[in-house]
Structure 1
Amino acid sequence: MLNPRIKLRHLQAFLELAKRRSFVRAAESLAITQPALSKAIRELEDNLGTALFDRGPRGVSLNQAGLTLLRHAGPALRTLDEGLTAIGEVSGRERWVRVGALSTVESRLVPLAIERLHARFDDIGVRVDSGPSAYLLSRLRGGELDLVVGRMTAAREIGDLAFEHLYYEPLVVAVRTGHPLAGDTPPTLARLVDYPWILPPPQTTLRQQLDSFCVQHGLRPPERRVETLSLAISRRYVLDGEALWIAPREAIDEDVAAGRLTLLDVGLERQGGSVGLCLNASMQPTLALEAFCEALREVAGER
């Protein structure tokens, strides 16, 4: 039974502070004063008999007790919100699926799955957020997303979340057609560092794979490099210049088929990493979520 001294405002304050990691930013987001937020957190910690955050000069971070509460409080409040929403629903009201999409699936899998979903259901909306796996998985664990799609099995943050494999996606190296390295079969690895690189940012699972390849072959990424997960920026930069684009195969397939980009046979990955969908097992799936997951499975199965 829920402690009667713990109120909804306590949990809302806790979740916002866990997300923002700053009393100032959390208070602004909740539209309350910082003293009011501090009081709510203090009351919650007093009622639970334990601290939930470690305070430091750079803000706050969850301790083990805070992480445990986060694992349950986020999905619980989301379930409560869904129940309240369901009571007020009228026939034909829109339903939503909140999707976290990694760069590995932004070009083909997710857009095609949305198209297939909307061909069957005209009352389901889809909100898509992109970003690194650590960021998206933390939002899934907190109940802010319904699922995360992409290549993420190497992410430490996946923890106790439920992952379903869909297919393997290799990391490849591409250049514009006509690039000086395009005619080398295979190119000399030492020549790769003579040109700019477009590569995933540090701390991403894709970057970890690239760093491992570089260590194995004694390569060091050049100083002239762009670190980004933006497909639009990467594509424009590689098509207009001499850069090498290290990216998931799905991101460059369309340009390769059209003859605009050429793959370099450097053996970065053969099979590739596991692309799939990740769910929070503690959250009850909605019919809209189940419909979108089925669309993802169908599109992946047709690859």
Structure 2
Amino acid sequence: MLNPRIKLRHLQAFLEVAKRRSFARAADSLAITQPGISKAIRELEESVAAPLFERTPQGVALTQAGLTLLRHAGPALRALEEGVGAVSAAQGSGEWLRVGALSTVESQLLPRAILRWQVSLDAPDSGVKVVTGASAYLLSQLRAGELDLVVGRMTEAREIRDLTFEHLYYEPLLLVVRGGHPLAGIAPLPAERLSELAWVLPPPQTTLRQRVDSFCVRHGLGLPGRRLETLSLPVSRRYTLDSDALWVAPREAVADDLAAGLLAELALPLEEQGGSVGFCRNASLQPSLGLEAFCEALREAAAAY
């Protein structure tokens, strides 16, 4: 039986501090005072008889007891939200999904799946909130019950662990430059020629960057000093079109520009098969009918690849 001293506000405060890694930011997010959120955490720690956070130079971090509670509290509150949502749905209102998207699916797969899902629904006010970012962040949000699923290339993501992953298709990273680039017509292209260029590539500590690092090791290359590190597709695209830079890009993100001749693929493969693109779900959460329908929309959209 749940300790009667533990209230919903305690768990909401705990999850927000765990998410923000700061009492002050959590208080701002919940629109309460910092002493108020500190009091809620202190009462929760007294109820579970264990410290949940510890101070660090970067803010606060979860203790082992805090990590244990997080694994259960996030899904529990999410299940409660789903229950309330199910009651609302029964009264004729629509459904909203929270989807984490990696850059590998932002351009084509995800928009197509969202359109398929919305067309298949009866409720006109159903929608999708898309959250972008690195895989480690998005998967942590999924584990905490803040997202319904995460879509993208996650073959090498260590953070998957206890989450369920469904493979949809393989997609490689490509080396692309603007149309008319001096290196675009050279085949085969010696790897050392890449050192002449600025690079646009994923940030460190991402699964895509690991593939870039492996490529550099295989060809004895060092990363150039002049580079742009970002997961933003619009920033990467504009920078590449306006310069002689080399862009390490997911095939999906550049397919239309390659077909139009705005970008050109270099004659040097970064990887052959590519990584596994699919979606992750939190097995501890009961999926709604809307989420199941969205997963089917992803499968149908992926069938075109």
TM-score by length of 1: 0.96
The within-5 A match list for 1:111-126 is 111-123=111-123, 124-126=126-128
| Distance (Å, rounded) in 2 between the aligned partners of 1:145 and 1:265 | 39
**Offset from partner CA, 1:113-161 (integer Å, 9 cap, x none):** 1121122115221111111111111111111110000011312221201
Shift of 1:247: 1.1
Q: Which residue of 1 aligns with 2:53?
A: 53
Shift of 1:174: 0.5
- 8 A Cα contact 2:82 2:288, kept in partner: no
Q: Which residue of 1 aligns with 2:106?
A: 106
Name which of structure 1's ranges 175-184 and 86-95 shifts more when overlaid on structure 2: 86-95
Quick one: which amino acid aligns to residue 44 of structure 1?
Answer: L
What SS does the aligned partner of 1:221 have?
A: coil
Quick one: which amino acid aligns to residue 16 of structure 1?
Answer: E
| Distance (Å, rounded) in 2 between the aligned partners of 1:165 and 1:158 | 13
Quick one: which amino acid aligns to residue 36 of structure 2?
Answer: A
Structure 1 residues 94 and 63: CA distance shift in structure 2, 3 A: same
Q: Which residue of 2 aligns with 1:203?
A: 205
| Distance (Å, rounded) in 2 between the aligned partners of 1:137 and 1:197 | 27
Quick one: which amino acid aligns to residue 148 of structure 1?
Answer: V
Q: Which residue of 1 aligns with 2:182?
A: 180
Name which of structure 1's ranges 201-210 and 81-90 shifts more when overlaid on structure 2: 81-90
Shift of 1:89: 4.6
Residue of structure 1 aligned with 2:256, choices 247, 254, 261 = 254
Shift of 1:284: 0.9
Q: Which residue of 2 aligns with 1:7?
A: 7
**Offset from partner CA, 1:3-33 (integer Å, 9 cap, x none):** 1121111111100000010111111111222
Quick one: which amino acid aligns to residue 30 of structure 1?
Answer: L
Q: Which structure 2 segments of 5+ residues have no match?
A: none
| Distance (Å, rounded) in 1 between the aligned partners of 2:94 and 2:245 | 44
Shift of 1:210: 0.4
User: Aligned residues, how many?
Assistant: 303
Q: CA RMSD in A?
A: 1.3
| Distance (Å, rounded) in 2 between the aligned partners of 1:96 and 1:140 | 15
Q: Which residue of 2 aligns with 1:277?
A: 279
The within-5 A match list for 1:1-303 is 1-89=1-89, 91-123=91-123, 124-303=126-305
| Distance (Å, rounded) in 2 between the aligned partners of 1:89 and 1:113 | 21
- 8 A Cα contact 2:176 2:265, kept in partner: yes
Shift of 1:64: 2.1
Q: Which structure 1 segments of 5+ residues have no match?
A: none
**Offset from partner CA, 1:160-205 (integer Å, 9 cap, x none):** 0111111111111001121011111121111101111110111110
What SS does the aligned partner of 1:254 have?
A: helix
| Distance (Å, rounded) in 2 between the aligned partners of 1:172 and 1:232 | 16
Shift of 1:52: 1.6
- 8 A Cα contact 2:178 2:241, kept in partner: yes
Q: Percent sequence identity over matched residues?
A: 68
